[in-house]
Amino acid sequence: MKSWEDSRQDCRDRGADLVIVTNEEEQVFINSFNERFWIGLTDREEEGTWRWVDGSVLNSSGFWYRGQPSEGLNRWSDDGCNVLKPWICEKPMDV
């Protein structure tokens, strides 16, 4: 259990980063664990502008819980970055 930043650093230490959810199949897989994880999405740089850890802008809101983010599948929540949670890393495949 770590904060968002500490979770991201753990992933980076492994040559990875927090997961970027790109489709419904990935979200269904993550949901299958029945746990709430840190993913690689944040609005830390600009409140309300959601970016993935690779710098890309969030282009879909289909996975938020109802009523989130704070002021589809609706599973994401806008928790404070210091909340302790498990996390999921994603490492690019070497080709």
Judge contact between 2 and 47, C-beta under 8 A.
no
Report the share of the chain in percent with pLDDT over 70.
83
User: Where residue 9 falls among pLDDT bands split at 50, 70, 90?
Assistant: very high
- DSSP conformation letters of 22-43: -SHHHHHHHHTT-S--B-SEE-
Q: Which domain holds residue 89?
A: 1-95
- The enclosing domain of 90 has a CATH number of 3.10.100.10
Q: How many domains does the chain have?
A: 1
Q: What is the mean pLDDT of residues 14-27?
A: 91
Average pLDDT over residues 48-61: 85
Token pair 């802008």 in the structure block, residue: 57
Question: How confident is the model at residue 72, as a pLDDT?
Answer: 45
